Amino acid sequence: MQQLVQLRGRGAAQNPRNRFVDTEHVADGDWLDTLDDDEPGPRTEFLRDHTRGIIARNDSPDIPFQTSVNPYRGCEHGCIYCFARPTHEYLGFSAGLDFETRILVKHEAAELLRRELASPKWVPSPIAMSGVTDPYQPVERKLGITRACLEVLAEFRNPVAMVTKNHLVTRDIDLLGELAAHGAAVVNISVTSLNEKLQRVMEPRASTPARRLEAIHKLSEAGIPVRVLVAPVVPGLTDHEMPAILAAAAQAGATAASYIPLRLPHGLKGLFEDWLETHFPDRRAKVLNRIREMRGGKLYDSEWGTRMRGEGVFADQYEAMFGAVCRKHGLTRDFPPLSTSAFRRVHDRAGQMGLFD
């Protein structure tokens, strides 16, 4: 196997072929071979997404939401394990560096969301932000698209469940607190490891573990329910940290918890194998063998009912340990259902009421 270098600030070190594309572009010379650890990775390119609908729907029986809003496609956090990487292939890109350097941005997301919530066809229901990539990735600090969507949700009092690993979520405590007062907001914070050195190479542009615990504390202090997501659990690499993560999150103020073992769909398998070879060659075989033991001898099993949990001895051990530690620290698995009772349909004031201003 070819030894790959770590690109500064990037999770992947290559662009594997898109599984839907027959041809592959190869640059003259192998530019990756000319880089060293001190070289900057490729710059991020932000592309306009011209989608005309913002609320996505799914009917998967093992995903706990039916509607979601994704302001961004692709994610600059660069987490090497991200299950969403293969979704970039539907756009004609690679699941590798393209996923973290070619980000599609939905600039009209808030306007589209307002239009859909104002429609008589909309039945009030919880919306996940986001169901795929992180709504608080670094560019959100500048663009504020997620915040604009939250402003719309707060105006309509439509319930929302946030999912992020970025401390930037605390910027929006005012809006989330307003919704939480109506039982219409929860925040899920992903904490994969408490080891900052490991986190830095596994999630190069995400908030540090300490900052995520700080976010849990600030949100819970503001009366916003917080669940810690120990996700993904990487067998043989981060699984031993589960008790410590749950204890730290509970101390910070989390009241609920969940976990998901690592999933490696499609091209993500090769990317993760190469990452292990680069950073943890001594653990590579152990990690991959543990994954296979939990996935019926494969690196990925897409079967509903098992893909989010795994199966076998190690999966059973995770479940038993997780349950025992949650009971010890008073963490529940689920929050009460988000409430839609305060929903109010807000019409386009500019269009319908502007004549009276």
Of residues 10 and 248, more confidently modeled: 248
Residue 311 domain-assigned (yes or no): yes
Residue 255 domain-assigned (yes or no): yes
Full residue range of the structural domain in which residue 89 is found: 34-336
% of the chain residues with pLDDT over 90: 75
> Tokens 């299950």 sit at which residue?
83
Strand partners, 45: 102
Q: With contact defined as beta carbons under 8 Å apart, do 77 and 115 qualify?
A: no
Of residues 30 and 256, more confidently modeled: 256
What is the H or E stretch that residue 187 is in? strand 185-190
Q: Which range has highest mean pLDDT (34-38, 56-60, 127-131)? A: 127-131
Residue 6: its pLDDT value, please?
Answer: 65
The encoded tokens of residue 181 equal 């007062």
| Count of the separate structural domains present in the chain | 1
Rounded average pLDDT over 169-182? 98
What is the H or E stretch that residue 56 is in? strand 55-57
Residue 347 domain-assigned (yes or no): no
Residue 210 domain-assigned (yes or no): yes
φ, ψ (nearest 5 deg) of residue 305: 95, -25
CA 303 to chain centre: 21
Q: Is the pLDDT score of 166 beyond 90? A: yes
Strand partners, 258: 229
User: Could you give the strand order of the β-sheet that contains 185-190, starting from the edge strand earlier in sequence?
Assistant: 55-57, 67-69, 127-129, 160-164, 185-190, 226-233, 256-261
Q: Residue 100: which CATH number?
A: 3.80.30.30
Residue 162: its pLDDT value, please?
Answer: 98
Residue 235 domain-assigned (yes or no): yes
Residue 342 domain-assigned (yes or no): no
Residue 149 domain-assigned (yes or no): yes
Beta strands in 207-293 (DSSP E): 226-233, 256-261
Q: Is the pLDDT score of 8 beyond 80? A: no
Condensed to tens digits (0 to 9), the pLDDT of residues 82-113 reads 999 999 998 999 999 999 999 999 999 999 99
Condensed to tens digits (0 to 9), the pLDDT of residues 271-281 reads 999 999 999 99
